[in-house]
Structure 1
Amino acid sequence: MDETKLTERGRQTRQRIIEATGEQILASGIGGTTLDTVRAATLTSKSQLFHYFPGGKTELVREVAAWEGRQLLAAQEPEIHDLGSWGSWERWRSGLVDYYIGRGRWACPIGSLATQAAAVDAELDRTVAEGMRAWRSALADGVVKMRATGLVAGVADPERIAVSILAAIQGGLVLSQPERSAWPLEAALDSALATLHDAATTSDDAE
């Protein structure tokens, strides 16, 4: 849908529907989220839903995936694009834990969608993959910066380190959920970041 044709109130309503659907998908999965449950959560009518999302649930879920991807990167600002020091990596780690655990989000929206998207919708699968690649790329760029400033050895593989960090985040969240505690996620992140520290060429942790 062309959002430029919407009024400000219309854009707000559309965004409210996207956010509410995202929360439902996180809690119940794509299969457990229906237009009826979205209508009930947002107090909207069927005609309103199809006005904002003519493609129905398929279009709505795709919009949720795109929005969650943007939100996830935005929540990691500014550190996600400034991972050129040990201090920035530590701030990024702390901020990410707070984003998930501090806000009671015991699962990763993009990670949850990734496990379901391929079986549901090929375009949705591509959208989720793009979100994951953008996240991985930002982390890899941070490793490149660390290499460029001599903080880690040139043999450090940015892509492999970025992938290991993403895997740690997803796995850590799975383990944190039943515990209702941050420590499994923190332990998983620390283990993944140890790979970066192992490639350090200096003990200087200056900001």
Structure 2
Amino acid sequence: MPARTQAKAPSRLTAKGSATRQRIIAAAAELMFDNGAAHTTLEDVRASAGVSGSQVYHYFADKQALVRAVIDHQTEAVLADQQPQLAHLDSLAGLREWRDAIVDHQHRLQRRGGCAIGSLGAEVAETDPAARRLAATGFRRWEAGIREGLRRMHARGELTTAADPDDLALATLAALQGGLLLTQIQRETRPLEVALDSMLDHIASLTVTAVEPAARPAR
């Protein structure tokens, strides 16, 4: 990868420099979420972050480097927001609460923007292989959070032996992403609700239900 497309390593920055760099990334993330990467210029970012053009180029060699930093930023933000629910995805109740939190979040966003990782990743996937790989890594981390909960359910014997937690996690993430895309386009959360409910109903169908002891015959 050409050196000119690399952002300066954060470890080389002073505390003030790191804060300025983060402010630029946060401003770019908000603009790109609202308008897309293609319609966000470095001048837009400079104005939004309240920095000079030279400061932008001091921390980011070019727009590609900034886009990659934004993907990392969005990945961390999404996973941090999801963490309270991801830690409890080892039960049907926890999965339902996670589903409700995602739907509520889309209502707060007014059904705009889609997935913060997926929308930007899809936009640059065919033009910036490094950015695509960063988005793919973000999705793998998200999938891992879902998978760990399902694996715990499986290990406790709460899922049938035929259930594959890894496949279920991937399918759940795919349902989530498809639901978010349709929610963004249609400006309603029903596609997201139906996609997640269908997937969680499928997981529920694979749970092991305790068998009630047979009634003893009357004597």
Specify if TM > 0.5.
yes
Q: What is the aligned partner in structure 1 of residue 67 from structure 2? A: 61
Q: What is the aligned partner in structure 2 of residue 27 from structure 1? A: 34
Shift of 1:28: 2.4
- 1:97 matches 2:103: yes
Q: What is the aligned partner in structure 1 of residue 156 from structure 2? A: 149
Per-residue CA deviation, residues 44-85 of structure 1 (Å, 9 max, x unaligned), is 2110101122x2211111111111111111111122133211
Q: What is the aligned partner in structure 2 of residue 113 from structure 1? A: 120
Count of residue correspondences: 203
Q: Which has the higher helix share?
A: 1
Residue ranges of structure 2 left out of the alignment (5+ in a row): 1-7, 211-219
Q: Measure, in 1, the Cα distance between the counterparts of 2:174 and 2:126.
A: 21
Alignment RMSD: 2.1
State the one-letter code of the partner of 2:106. Y
Q: Measure, in 2, the Cα distance between the counterparts of 1:72 and 1:144.
A: 22
The one of 8, 13, 20 equivalent to 1:13 is 20
- 1:173 matches 2:173: no
Query: Max radius of gyration: which structure?
Result: 2
State the one-letter code of the partner of 2:82. Q
Identity %: 39
Residue ranges of structure 1 left out of the alignment (5+ in a row): none
Q: Measure, in 2, the Cα distance between the counterparts of 1:89 and 1:15.
A: 33
Per-residue CA deviation, residues 152-192 of structure 1 (Å, 9 max, x unaligned), is 11211222222222222222122223443333312221112
State the one-letter code of the partner of 2:115. C
* Residue pair 2:72, 2:134 contacting (<8 A) in 1 also: yes
* Residue pair 1:97, 1:185 contacting (<8 A) in 2 also: yes
The one of 64, 88, 91 equivalent to 1:85 is 91
**Secondary structure of residue in 2 paired with 1:156:** coil
Q: Measure, in 2, the Cα distance between the counterparts of 1:121 and 1:59.
A: 10
Shift of 1:105: 5.9
Q: What is the aligned partner in structure 2 of residue 37 from structure 1? A: 44
Shift of 1:135: 0.9
Deviates more, 1:96-105 or 1:106-115: 96-105
Calculate the TM-score normalised by the size of structure 2: 0.83
Q: Measure, in 1, the Cα distance between the counterparts of 2:37 and 2:97.
A: 33
Q: What is the aligned partner in structure 1 of residue 82 from structure 2? A: 76
Q: Measure, in 1, the Cα distance between the counterparts of 2:123 and 2:116.
A: 11
State the one-letter code of the partner of 1:196. I
Q: Measure, in 2, the Cα distance between the counterparts of 1:105 and 1:114.
A: 19
* Residue pair 2:154, 2:165 contacting (<8 A) in 1 also: no
Calculate the TM-score normalised by the size of structure 1: 0.87
State the one-letter code of the partner of 1:110. I
- 1:195 matches 2:202: yes
